Amino acid sequence: MNTVEEIVRVLKNLKSAAIFTHMRPDGDTLGSALALRRALSMLGIRCEVLSEGEIPARFAFLDDVREIRRTPSFDAEAYILMDVSAENRLGELQSLFRRSGRRITVNIDHHVSNPRFCRYNFVRERAANCENIAEIISRLGIKPDRAMAECLLMGLVTDSGSFSHNDVTGSTFRTAALCADAGADVSRITYEVFKKQTKARAEFYASVISRIRYFLSDRLAVAIVPMELMKKYGVGQDATEGIVDFALDIDAVEVSVCLMEVKRGQFKCSFRSKRVNVNEIARVFGGGGHVLAAGCMFFGETEEVLDRLSFTVSQYLEP
């Protein structure tokens, strides 16, 4: 792995760069990429941000989002990867990256598992990759402007779960303070990214929440989202985001599940847990994920799926 000084030296000497986000971009990869693009542009380096697919609407409030491209508009000297924990996380951009040839490749990330697959690699475990980018920008001798600070703060707020995750440190808050001093508005970012919703979504959400079912003496909560309900409110699958987290907040609940019907008799299942290893539970059904957050697919009629689900969860709860 390279030191931050080495990375800064490499970046400073570039003439042009394409900055890659990971697939299904989140606030951290976008914030990192857009902030670095601004910083490098200030140094006279020609650069652009590449991202596959649609940028989720909740990020549209950032002016710079409009500058993001799906395909390169010029032949860049370097490819810089942002928050990309493994090469396949590039999605559709992986084939472009594979054709990097003699280009300089730079990997800047905060996932320890990153296999360091670029020529230059800077992987430091932090609450958000934007913390790494803020450090690099300051070492480039640049004081963040408001737009840059907003991008950085968006990454910090989203990847740290509004500063609630256990990897948040003093450095996270110091970086946030720097962003606030530069004019970034934390309440606006929080509203735009986490809270803002349509009336249809709010009513759909209320309907799902009011019908949560409880099993195993309220230790398991299951929110069921039938296709007809999504149709009724005219919302897409992204409207189910947050439902499974809401159910886990209930004090007696140890495992929460959201069962979203994607086809007749086919459910996309998300697990959240306070302690129980739901990665193991999801693996019983051919899925997986993390200890406290995992997913799998279920096939069958709703009641039969609920039976299998509650039986399996009961095997993992402490007596």
User: In angstroms, what is the minimal distance from the CB of 251 to Mn ion?
Assistant: 30
With respect to Mn ion, which residue has the nearer C-beta, 56 or 72? Answer: 56
With respect to Mn ion, which residue has the nearer C-beta, 135 or 159? Answer: 159
Which residue sits closest to Mn ion, CB atoms considered?
A: 28
Asked if 109 interacts with Mn ion (CB under 5 A), we say no
Please count the CA atoms within 13 angstroms of the CA of 62 that sit on its side-chain side: 33
Q: 129-139 and 27-42 are packed helices; what angle lies between their axes, rounded to 10 degrees?
A: 10
Asked if 129 interacts with Mn ion (CB under 5 A), we say yes
With respect to Mn ion, which residue has the nearer C-beta, 106 or 306? Answer: 106
User: In angstroms, what is the minimal distance from the CB of 83 to Mn ion?
Assistant: 4
β-partners of residue 79 are 18, 105
| Sole binder of Mn ion in the list 18, 19, 28, 136 (CB under 5 A) | 28
Number of residues lying near Mn ion (CB under 5 A): 4
User: In angstroms, what is the minimal distance from the CB of 26 to Mn ion?
Assistant: 7
Stretch that binds Mn ion, among 10-18, 59-67, 100-108, 126-134 (CB under 5 A): 126-134
User: In angstroms, what is the minimal distance from the CB of 109 to Mn ion?
Assistant: 8
Asked if 83 interacts with Mn ion (CB under 5 A), we say yes
| Location of structure tokens 């810089």 | 80
β-partners of residue 49 are 19
Check: CB of residue 154 under 8 Å from CB of residue 55. Answer: no
Check: CB of residue 227 under 8 Å from CB of residue 261. Answer: yes
With respect to Mn ion, which residue has the nearer C-beta, 121 or 310? Answer: 121
Stretch that binds Mn ion, among 26-34, 43-51, 63-71, 93-101 (CB under 5 A): 26-34
Binding mask 138-177 for Mn ion (x = CB under 5 A): ---------------------x------------------
- N-terminal to C-terminal alpha carbon distance within the chain: 46
With respect to Mn ion, which residue has the nearer C-beta, 2 or 85? Answer: 85
Residues in the chain: 319
Check: CB of residue 91 under 8 Å from CB of residue 134. Answer: no
User: In angstroms, what is the minimal distance from the CB of 156 to Mn ion?
Assistant: 10
User: In angstroms, what is the minimal distance from the CB of 228 to Mn ion?
Assistant: 36
Stretch that binds Mn ion, among 78-86, 165-173, 226-234, 285-293 (CB under 5 A): 78-86
With respect to Mn ion, which residue has the nearer C-beta, 107 or 129? Answer: 129
Which residues ranging from 246 to 265 are in contact with Mn ion (CB under 5 A)? Answer: none
With respect to Mn ion, which residue has the nearer C-beta, 33 or 184? Answer: 33
With respect to Mn ion, which residue has the nearer C-beta, 83 or 254? Answer: 83
With respect to Mn ion, which residue has the nearer C-beta, 159 or 254? Answer: 159
User: In angstroms, what is the minimal distance from the CB of 252 to Mn ion?
Assistant: 32
Asked if 64 interacts with Mn ion (CB under 5 A), we say no
Positions that interact with Mn ion (CB under 5 A) = 28, 83, 129, 159
